[in-house]
Each structure stands twice: as C-alpha cells, then as structure tokens.
A and B are shown apart, each in its own frame.
Chain A
Amino acid sequence: MSKAPFLAGAILSLLGAGVIAEAMRLPTIPGQTYGPGFFPVLIGAGLLVFGAIYALSVRRPMQAVILLEGEGTAPDEAEETVPERPFYGALAWLVTGLVATIFLWETAGFVLLMSVVLTVFMILLGVRFWHAGLVSIASTIIVYALFIKILMVPLPAGLLAPLGL
C-alpha cells in the first residue's frame, strides 16, 4: 500500500479537528438544545476519528464488512495495451488552463479561450496541430452557438465581440 491512504486519513482527521473548532464558534439558539453548530461538530468528530483509524489501518488493510465474491479482482485493463507514461505536461496545462479560464473569462471570451486551451491540451496528448485546432475551434463554436442561441446562457464574447459572434 502506498502512502496516499495514510496521508489522506491524517489530513481528513486534522480537517475534522478544524471543523469542530470552527463549529464551536457558531451561535446557539436560546432555549434549544441543538443549534446550527450541532451537526458540524458531529461531522467533525466523525472525520477526526475515522480519519485517524483510516490512517492507522494502512499497515493492516481494512476489509469490507460484506465481501462480494470476485470483487477487487477486476480484469486487468493494462494487460493487452501497454500503458504509456503519465502526461504531466497535459495535466499541468489542464489545471493552468482552467485557472486561466476563470480569470480571463470575460476579457478573452469563451470561443477564443476555449479554442486555445483545448488545442494545446490535445497537442500535448500527441494530436497534430491542424487537427487539434480544427476540432477545438469547431466544437467551441458549436457549443457557443448552442448555449447562446438555444439555451440563452450568457457566454462572454470577449475579444471576438467585434466579429458579431
């Protein structure tokens, strides 16, 4: 087993402690036993306790209470096609692209922004430039038209506004 479950358990346990501390500060309703802080405290306690159990049970893997026969031995997907190396470049671009989308949404506009993000994304996954560009521009324009005209969603035109899009 990797370190991931231990880390996740530890982080969730700490989160639970934080939730309890934050929930204690919530106001109480006079005359009532259970206020808005009651459930968050319970949830925090749950995260605290079970996060710790999860982190500590890494060495001795916890088994399902009800074990279904055959479960867990799902067919090995990698058997016939050799998996490639992780696409760190595309991954980094995906996150950067989404953050950029959030910040440039109004100024750059939907079509321009999405075309660039998707084209680069596909190129990083080994698609040829013209092919990637064509697919992303075409799909972006179709989606833009669909959402603006039929579903009335105000997607921003941004820099391409002068083109009357």
Chain B
Amino acid sequence: MQTLLEAFRLIADPQVIVTVLLASIFGLFVGAIPGLTATMATALLVPMTFFMDPLSSIAAIVACTAMAITAGDIPGCLLRIPGTPASAAYTDETFMMTKKGLGAQALGSSLVSSVIGGLFGAIVLMVAAPSLARVALNFSSFEYFWLACIGLSCAALVSSTGFVAGLLSLFIGLLIATVGMDVISGSPRFTFGSVQLMGGVSFVPAMIGMFAISEILYSLLNGTARQRFAKPQKITGIFHGILPLISKYRTNVARGSVIGTIIGILPGAGGDIAAWITYATARRFSKESQKFGTGHPEGVIEAGAANNAGLSGAWVPALVFGVPGDAVTAIAVGVLFMKGINPGPRLFETQGAMLYAVFMIFLIANIALLPFGWLAIRAASKILSVPRPQLMAVILLFCIVGSFAINNTIFDIGVMLVFGILAFALSEAGIPIAPIILGIVLGPLLEQNFLTSMTIADGNLLAFFERPIAGVLGIFVLLLWSIPLVSAIMQVSRHVSHARPMKLT
C-alpha cells in the first residue's frame, strides 16, 4: 500500500505528466505517418530521455509506442498504407471498410479494441511481473544464460524472411556487442586500436542509424522521398455505435488481448506478429469467415486488441529478467542500463515504487489513447499532408544532434552513418534489423552469464542442466533449436511432393 501511494506521488510529478503528454503527441504523429515506425519513434526519443529521470524516460517510451501503434491504423484505413508494421495485418480490411463507407467504424473499433487490449496487457504486467520476479530472485547465472538464449532464438525463429536471415542478423548484433573491452578479462576486442571503440559501439547512435537513417536512405533510393499522399476523406463520429459493436465481438476482443499478451511476453516477438496471428485466428474461428477481406470488423477488432496487448506484454520479460521481448523494449532496457538501473528481479525490491509508477503509466497511456486517438483521427488529413522532404530534413537534424548528445563526441555521428548504411544494405539483402538490436542488448548478458557459470562449474557444460529450472529452460532451448532442423529434414524428405512450411492459420 505504501508503495502504491509512493507510486502515485511519483507520477503526479509535473515533469512526468508533461513528458507523457509530449511523448504521446510525438508518438501519434510518427505512427500516423507511413514509413515512420514505433521503433524509429523510440530511437529518436532516446537522446531526449537521456536528460530525464528514469521514470520519465520509461514513461515517455511507453506512451510514445502505445500511441504510435494505434495511430498506425489511421493511414492504413484511409490510404491503404500501414503507418507502422503492426497495422499491416489488417490494413486491407480497414481500407475495404472505408470504401464501403464504414471508415468511422473501422477506426473507432480498432481504437477501442486497442485500448482494451493495451489495458489487459498492462494488468497482466502488473499482476504477473512481481510474482515472476519473486521466482526469478532464485535465478543464478545458469538460468539467465538460458533466458538470454531463449530471447535470441525466438528473435531468429520468428523472423519473417526466414530463420537463416534472422540468425545472420542475430550474429551481427552479437558481434557488435563484443566490440570494446571484454568485461571479464579487460582485453580489448575488435577495437582496431581505436580509443573510442574501447567502451564498445555506442548503442544510441547505432540505433538511430539503423532505424532512422536507413529509412531516409530507403525513401531516397526508392523515389518515395517526395511522394505526397492522396488527400484522405474526413472521418467523423468514430465512437458512434462502437459499444454495441465491441460487445458483439467481445470474444474477439478477449482472444486478441490474451493471445497478444502471450505473444508479447515471448521474447523476440512483438505487436506486429501478434497482429498477424490474431487476424488469422479471428478468421479461423469466425462464423462468417467468408466476409474477411471484404470490409468486416471482426479481424480488425481482434488484431487491434492484440498489437497493443503485445506491446504491454513485451515489458514482462524486460522488467523481470532484463531480457527484452522486442526491439522497443530492447531499447528501453538499454536506456535503463545507461541510467545505472539494471532491470531484473532485484528491481522489484529496490525500486518497487518506481515500477508501480511505470505500471500506472501503462494504464494512463492506454486510457489516454481514447481522446488522443480521436484527436489524431480528426487531424489525420493535416498530419498526412506534411511535406516529406521537410519532414526528412528535420528527422535528419534530430538524428545528428541526438547521436552527438549522448557522449558529446563527433565519433558517434560517424557510428550513426555507418550503421544507417549497414542496416539499409542488410534490409535490401532481405536480412531483418530487429534481431541485431536484441543481439546487441542480450550479447553481453549471454557472455557474462556463460563465463560466470563456467567459472563456478569449473568448465563443466553439464552444469547448465543440473539446477531444476535451468534444466527445464535448457531443454526448452534445445527444443526451440530443433524446430528449424526438423523442418529442414522434413522439407528434404518431402522434397518431391512440394514441401510446405508449417502454417499458422
């Protein structure tokens, strides 16, 4: 109770409130503009969070991403261009609804279901995280090693361009993480004599490069840099008749929230995958599955709830174990580390009030989605008419100043440029970027826990299976690793009969 009161006191701080407000507006704007993703919004936000206290910075990231994911539905519905990847699953459906004159219903139902999904995920986070943390207090380096393995493996496995591409991306991230002084012995690795690289590759400039600069490069090379969007129709009355609609499809809201949260909690998978899967489950269990794709709200409601629920769920492993579930929480974990706060079960004892304050921010941000989302939909035609060249110039300016501001060195602007080009080249070659971030964040965790464990166990690898929880986690990891192997073997054995991958429909 005392903690709760203390938490209330923390979020009543004007700095926190103003931060949440500004971050929300920023998130809505970025989310509503196609080509700018929630991850990019977070990356651009990080240099700002550097000057805030830990609570404000986490609050800013939470509010910004929740708003961005929801605002991403707007251009999808109006122009058939998803604002963020998380909306891509049901973009066609909402656009068909708009064509049928149901645009208000499409936006209204995705907004309201987003709020419900987000709230559900936040409540699960509030309830599950502290009790999981109590279990995690007994974890040693053996368990943490396996947790890091699970996070990394899932990131590679769910990669949409194939697991080989995902694995490659992961190894690149892990390699980047090894640059600098080795934590155990202090010997410099891959620094090539550079003093600036001794401390490792700076995280923030690398991220800004990978998510913002690469996006600018992409739009320049694909000729979309000057593209103007068609003027969308004005949508009003989005809340009209929404409550009966939501209650008619309450099973979808519930299923979307539950599946979304679970997928979010799984390391490596976030809101966009949750949306794809729940859109598919909505269709599978629907009584009117033939209506899907013709402008039917059912899938939109389920997937709309799921992507916001996934966003909240991803914070469970991030806060409890320090093992992030997606690119956004990976960035958040990085921010907390920079502030000298190590996410993990101890945090629930030492910083209980702050954590409860973070949970409350989740609830507030999701409730604030209703008025903010309404405003964003009203302002949609204005937001979408922002000229692209000017927008890109301003983004570029913030990239440069943001990369510089973290360590006040020009070297970091170079890091940003190099990573921007690297990420652009990799995505042109079909290699995803998100696993790199997880590799960078989880790499040190993986290595430290491995080396610590081996020092304890005197180099005996079987020690990783000797503690009960570690053993279970270890077997789970081995099973995960066997999925691609088994599927490869099956593919070879059924080579003649046109082998197909396992399909989740």
Contacts and interface: CB of A to CB of B under 8 A. Distances in A.
Residue among A69, A110, A127 facing the most chain B CB atoms (10 A cut-off): A69
Interface string B137-169: 000000000000000000001111111110110
B431 interface: yes
B115 to A, nearest CB: 25
A36 B430 CA distance: 32
A160 interface: no
Interface string A43-63: 110110011011001000111
A8 B426 contact: yes
Interface stretch (B241-249, B340-348, B449-457): B449-457
B184 interface: yes
A38 to B, nearest CB: 8
A122 to B, nearest CB: 5
Given A35-B185, A70-B89, A125-B389, A98 B413 contact: yes
Nearest to A35: B185
A61 B273 CA distance: 21
Contact of B95 (A47, A75, A83, A132): A75
Interface string B175-197: 10010001011010110000000
A114 to B, nearest CB: 6
Contact of B504 (A43, A51, A69): A69
B157 A151 contact: no
B459 interface: yes
A65 B280 CA distance: 17
B429 A84 contact: no
Given A102-B413, A118-B396, A68 B171 contact: no
Contacts of A165: none
A39 B436 CA distance: 16
Given A12-B168, A47-B168, A70-B279, A34 B459 contact: yes
A127 B391 CA distance: 12
A34 B450 CA distance: 9
Contacts of A17: none
Nearest to B405: A153
B267 to A, nearest CB: 15
Interface residues on A, range: 35 or more
A66 B430 contact: no
Interface string B401-428: 1001100101001100100010001101
Interface stretch (B224-232, B318-326, B374-382): B224-232
A164 interface: no
A74 interface: yes
- In terms of DSSP, what is the predominant structure of the interface of chain A? helix
Interface in A83-100: 83-87, 90-91, 94-95, 98-99
Interface string B105-133: 00000000000000000000000000000
A10 to B, nearest CB: 10
Contacts, number: 242
Contacts of A135: 390, 393-394
Nearest to A53: B164
Contacts of A53: 164
A43 to B, nearest CB: 5
A60 B221 CA distance: 27
Contact of B428 (A4, A26, A46, A68): A4
A66 B502 contact: yes
B164 A39 contact: no
A80 B80 CA distance: 10
A12 B454 contact: no
A153 B401 contact: yes
Interface in B471-500: 483-484, 487
A122 B82 contact: no
Contact of A43 (B178, B221, B417, B429): B178
A86 B221 contact: yes
Contacts of B236: none
Given A40-B189, A86-B220, A64 B89 contact: no
Nearest to B34: A77
B401 A143 contact: yes
B367 interface: no
B397 A63 contact: no
Contact of B160 (A68, A79, A122): A68
A155 B401 contact: yes
Contacts of B280: 68-70
A64 B159 contact: yes
Nearest to A114: B397
A122 B227 CA distance: 13
B91 interface: yes
Contacts of A4: 425, 428-430
Contacts of A95: 417, 421
A164 to B, nearest CB: 20
Contacts of B390: 122, 127, 132, 135
A93 B503 CA distance: 45
Given A8-B425, A40-B175, A69-B280, A46 B167 contact: yes
B276 interface: yes
B223 interface: yes
B19 to A, nearest CB: 13
B276 A94 contact: no
A9 B161 CA distance: 14
A5 B429 contact: yes
A113 to B, nearest CB: 9
A44 B414 CA distance: 25
A47 to B, nearest CB: 5
Contact of B389 (A46, A77, A127): A127
Contact of B164 (A57, A72, A140): A57
Given A9-B168, A68-B277, A81-B230, 17 more contacts: A5-B430, A23-B189, A34-B459, A36-B185, A40-B190, A46-B167, A46-B174, A63-B162, A65-B163, A68-B273, A74-B91, A84-B223, A114-B397, A121-B389, A121-B393, A121-B396, A125-B388
6 contacts: A65-B162, A69-B503, A75-B91, A84-B223, A139-B394, A151-B51
- Which 8 residue pairs of A and B lie closest in terms of their CB atoms, listed nearest first? A8-B429, A33-B459, A125-B389, A62-B162, A84-B223, A36-B182, A68-B276, A4-B429
